[in-house]
Structure 1
Amino acid sequence: MNKTIITKLKRAFTLYDDLLEFIPEKYLTQKIQNTPSNPLGHQLWCVVGARHSYTKALKAGAWQGFDCPLKTEETAFSKAVSEKLKTTADDLLDFLENNEEYLLDILLDLYEHEIQHHGQIIRYLYAFKLGVPESWKKRYNLD
């Protein structure tokens, strides 16, 4: 079962990579108009922070608090966001590959968080009228 979750996490991680290749960088600072919203880049800040924080929790065996290695001012830059998404994913996957014993609940919480942000980001893509990356269309059966 754990291998299945790791496979699903890897797929979720790849979708974020595809997203950053797809959207013009200027949209990272944009909010959805006429609805409570933060900038799209702040959604990705939360994803980076969660990956980092859940990895710390897995290593410690319990939640250690939220911490994000991506500064909020860096969320406007695709390269900075992409690099932090990659390093936090690599750190997590490296830990999982080298440790048989870890708390499944923590890993499931991270997966849930990743997917929840997918749903939020889809709202941004539609609101900005950007279209949707092909991988997201395929994964979520979107037009």
Structure 2
Amino acid sequence: MEILKQRVLQALGLTDDFYNHINEGCLGLKISDVPSNTFGEQAYCIIGARESYLKALKLGQWAGFDCSLIQTNDKTLISSKLEETHRNIENFLQDNCIGEINNNLLIDLLEHEVQHHGQLIRFAYANKIKFPKSWNIRYTV
């Protein structure tokens, strides 16, 4: 199950790459003419899920959603929170044997992160935003 840890960290890194790649003005963009939140609000959900799933992984069960991100239009803050949550999850995964981790929660975290990748791809296409190289390699976008 080490591959699961690797895939989670890969997904976190891809998300970080995406938000580091876009400029701050993109954070307020959404998909027009359909129900949509913004790139910044997507970051709120991603960061909150990372924090909430890490808490759940430590407890061994889901304990509710919470997010420490207070500004969805501040790229520096978003990038910092993405880096912090990535590092915290990576440290947790390095310090814990896969057999001691609730794999369903870890898979849920991976699914959530990757589901946002799909949303970010749609957002980027709708707003004519180019992708970072890591996304071109991973998703052929």
TM range (shorter): over 0.9
Match of 1:81? 78
Letter in 1 for 2:87: D
Query: Which protein, 1 or 2, shows the higher relative CO under an 8 Å CA cutoff with sep ≥ 6?
Result: 2
CA deviation after TM superposition for structure 1 residue 17, in Å: 2.1
Number of aligned residue pairs: give it: 139
In structure 1, stretches of 5+ residues that fail to align are none
Match of 1:15? 14
State the distance in 1 between where 2:55 and 2:17 align.
Answer: 26
State the distance in 2 between where 1:21 and 1:13 align.
Answer: 12
Match of 1:125? 124
TM-score w.r.t. length of structure 2: 0.94
Matches within 5 A, 1:1-143: 1=1, 3-71=2-70, 74-100=71-97, 101-142=100-141
Q: Is the 8 A contact 2:20 2:79 kept in 1?
A: no
- Percent identical among aligned pairs is 45
In structure 2, stretches of 5+ residues that fail to align are none
| DSSP-derived class of the 1:75 partner | coil
RMSD (CA atoms): 1.0
Structure 1 ranges of 4+ moved more than 6 A: none
